[in-house]
Copies of this chain bind each other. A is one copy, B any other.
Amino acid sequence: MESNKVVGILGIGLIGGSMALGLRKSGWAKECIGIDTNRPNQKRALELGLIDRLLPLDEALQVIDVLIIATPVDNLVEQLPKILDQFHEKQIVIEVGSTKSPIYEALKNHPRRKQFVSTHPMAGTEFSGPEAAIDGLFEGKRCVICDQELSDPDAEKTIESLYQDGLHMNLIYMDSISHDVHTAYISHISHICSFALANTVLEKEKDEKRIFELASTGFESTVRLAKSSPETWIQIFHQNQENLMDVLDEYINTLLKYKGLMLSGSYEKLKEELAKANDIGRILNRK
């Protein structure tokens, strides 16, 4: 689907790079312009053919229709209001971060708020940087659009088309607060579990050789997210700290409950807990 849009991308790593690949392949973007901030990643993205060319932000703003910001979330809250100040009235900006309330707060009184659409394409891998960009990363996955009523209807329609026609994603809608609660439960806590498991095993198992000899596919699957970027994830944990604390407390309590059941020899009761956990399979299979 051709939309003839010129798309600018600020932050061309795993997510930004994969979006560029997808939008060019589907023809949704006439051109994908990387925003040059002199970071080595951006030159690399150009070499890898993820983008058509690099331009400084002020020059890019003369030619782009849609700006995608795919930088770490801390950066975003600072940068986005300033960038929006420079927009002309037909331009649209989206960001693709994993937390939504801080950016909601940062923009809620901005005069150009309607030109912003808050989105979260739910896809990724444990790798980062432009080399990690993958063709087809988003296909068939879900993208959340937050607070749609705060965006201009035409701008929102364009962004729906970007995700549906350009990247072949399925859309769901919720407000920023719900988004951050739900992603804490589903996505952010999984990263905590995995990082902590890796730290635990590395700490306990001083003889590294045994780790790589005995690690089975089960361990590899559970610990996979521990390879994720610390820089990206501490910012997400920070921004979503309150929700994450709730679910982390619940997780620690569940582990303490397991421990109590084992120490008291209540294995039948533990079995009931594990059988309840099995239900996650039924729910995931509905997808």
Interface residues of A in 187-230 (CB under 8 A from B): 187, 189-205, 208, 210-228, 230
Shortest distance between the CB of A132 and any CB in chain B (Å)? 13
Question: Is A48 an interface residue when CB atoms closer than 8 A count as contact?
Answer: no
Given contacts A204-B247, A214-B144, A215-B287, contact A277 B234 (CB under 8 A): no
Interface residues of A in 207-260 (CB under 8 A from B): 208, 210-228, 230-231, 233-234, 237-238, 241, 244-252, 254-256, 258-259
Please indicate which of the listed interface residues A144, A228, A234 has the most CB atoms of chain B within 10 Å of its own CB.
Answer: A234
Given contacts A186-B201, A194-B222, A230-B271, contact A123 B216 (CB under 8 A): yes
Complex Cα distance A126/B247, Å? 25
A211 contacts across to B, CB distance below 8 A = 185-186, 283
Complex Cα distance A71/B216, Å? 20
A144 contacts across to B, CB distance below 8 A = 214
10 tightest CB-CB pairs across the interface, nearest first? A230-B274, A198-B277, A198-B280, A227-B281, A190-B222, A196-B254, A195-B277, A226-B277, A200-B251, A186-B214
* B-contact bits for A271-287, CB 8 A (1 contact / 0 none): 11111111111011011
Question: Is A83 an interface residue when CB atoms closer than 8 A count as contact?
Answer: no
Complex Cα distance A246/B182, Å? 32
Q: List 26 A-B contacts (CB under 8 A).
A: A122-B214, A144-B214, A185-B205, A189-B197, A192-B255, A195-B273, A196-B255, A199-B276, A199-B277, A201-B247, A204-B247, A215-B283, A220-B284, A221-B224, A222-B224, A223-B284, A230-B274, A230-B278, A234-B270, A234-B271, A234-B274, A237-B270, A238-B262, A241-B262, A245-B259, A255-B255
A248 contacts across to B, CB distance below 8 A = 255, 258-259
Tell me the nearest residue of chain B to A141, going by C-beta: B216
Question: Is A183 an interface residue when CB atoms closer than 8 A count as contact?
Answer: yes
A212 contacts across to B, CB distance below 8 A = 283-284, 286-287
A43 contacts across to B, CB distance below 8 A = none
Assess the B214–A278 pair: CB atoms within 8 A: no
